[in-house]
Structure 1
Amino acid sequence: MTNTMWMRGIEWLAAASADPRACKWEWDHGEGIALLEAGRFWDVLSVPERLGLLTLDLLWRPELPVPGPTLVDTAAGRVGFFVPPDPSASWVGAGLRYAGKGSWVAVPPPYRPARFLEWLVPPDGTGALHSPGTLEDALRQANATLTVLTPVQGQ
């Protein structure tokens, strides 16, 4: 990413904070993690890490747009996909968690990891997010693959 893209990504992400300046200060001088409210610019679909990593891999296809912002929480073993805000979203599946309006999400700055949080795909500042339909298709495909592989690995 270019410096301009990094700066736009920082500004875009910090704009979700009630106080963008305090958010950026926390990233640079505090713990390196800011709590940002979902529901205004984006929501987050959080999935188990193994499913999330395979899903992200499936989203990196030449015929698809570059995946939207994606965050991994190595302590919790989860991957978060940033999607458009949708108050009527109904993501259903084992281990899926949806953070919408009224939910808070811990995020590091786009330019470096902080403790257990790291961007797999940092925000580029354009507002690009994961397409829910494309993400759902990739999740289904990844889940089907894991369902087939799990019994083999368990033997």
Structure 2
Amino acid sequence: MPLTSPRLTTADQPRPPTGGARWLLTGQSAVDCAPAWCSPHGLAPIRVGARTGWNAIRVQTRLGEHALRNLLAEPTALGPVLDTGANLVFLVPTLHHSWPVLLHGTADTPTGTWNWGATLTQHLGLGHVLHCPQPGIPRRKGPRWLVEPDGHGALTLTGRLAEALHSAYRAVIAPALAEFAEPPQSRTQQRPANPANFAAFARRRPSTAEAS
């Protein structure tokens, strides 16, 4: 029998692009993106770079979710946020300075200084591709927009994002780091010897704030 493509349900059918979708397509190849949104997986290759007018910051999921809550609590507009299923991606204005310098995400730990910004976040600039669902189309699984493009080009300012990430770090990661200083017999888990492994440790251990 000939192979056939999976049939799309009514909920999955592509619709005419909304303002957010049209904005996302700015500077993109319609030949690549439009058919992709009509495909069963419904993900278009959106290229980050100079033609788009924006960059992106990839953030480890747990840290990113806390940062997003912090940003949503503020009255100012927020840029698009994509949940890829593996991490969160915040769309920001094109960076004119190094992201590590803007974030300055370091912390002293019992085993030395840990650059948590380099471990838990990454700047995505020219040459990176994001596989994005069409804004305005609800999705039951796979990558989805937590904050959709508004169609007017709203982006999350890097300064605001950095502040939200620092606040999230204090709520999510710092409590785990505090346990490292406790005597070995009082720890609930074995302490990593390498600061680069702190992120995995923190993911396994809910913070006191989350548990309450």
Superposition TM-score tier, normalisation by shorter sequence: 0.7 to 0.9
Unaligned runs of 5+ in 2: 1-16, 106-116, 180-204
Q: 5 Å matches for 1:112-151?
A: 112=137, 113=139, 115-150=141-176, 151=179
Query: Cα–Cα, structure 1 residues 103 and 118, in superposed 2: closer, same or farther, change >3 Å?
Result: same
TM-score, L = length of structure 1 = 0.82
The whole-number CA distance in structure 1 between the counterparts of 2:207 and 2:83 is: 25
8 Å contact kept, 1:32–1:114: no
1:47 aligns with 2:73: no
Q: For 2:95, what is the secondary structure of its paired residue?
A: coil
Shift of 1:148: 3.6
Aligned partner letter, 1:60? L
1:130 aligned counterpart, secondary structure: coil
Using structure 2 for the length normalisation, give the TM-score: 0.62
Q: Count residues with an aligned counterpart.
A: 146
Structure 2: how far apart are the matches of 1:39 and 1:88?
Answer: 15
Is 1:35 the counterpart of 2:45? The answer is yes
Cα distance in structure 1, aligned partners of 2:55 and 2:207: 35
**Consecutive unaligned residues in structure 1, runs of 5 or more:** 1-5
Of all paired residues, the percent bearing the same amino acid is 28
Aligned partners of 2:94 and 2:140: how far apart in 1? Answer: 25
Superimposed CA distance per residue, residues 20-52 of structure 1 (whole angstroms, 9 cap, x where no aligned partner): 254123112353111111123211100110000
Aligned equivalents of 1:140, 1:154: Cα separation in 2: 15
Q: Does 1:103 align with 2:103?
A: no
What's the offset of the Cα at 1:114? 7.7
Q: Does structure 2 retain, via aligned residues, the 8 Å contact 1:70–1:80?
A: yes
Higher relative contact order (CA 8 A, sep 6+): 1
Q: Whole-Å Cα distance in 1 between the matches of residues 20 and 95 of structure 2?
A: 22
**Residue aligning to 1:90:** 99
Structure 1 residue 153: Cα displacement = 3.6
Aligned-partner residue type, residue 116 of structure 1: G
- C-alpha contact 1:68 1:121 (8 A) present in aligned 2: yes
Deviation per residue, 1:85-112 (Å, 9 max, x gap) = 1253323512211110121111111123
1:26 to 28, 32, 36: 36
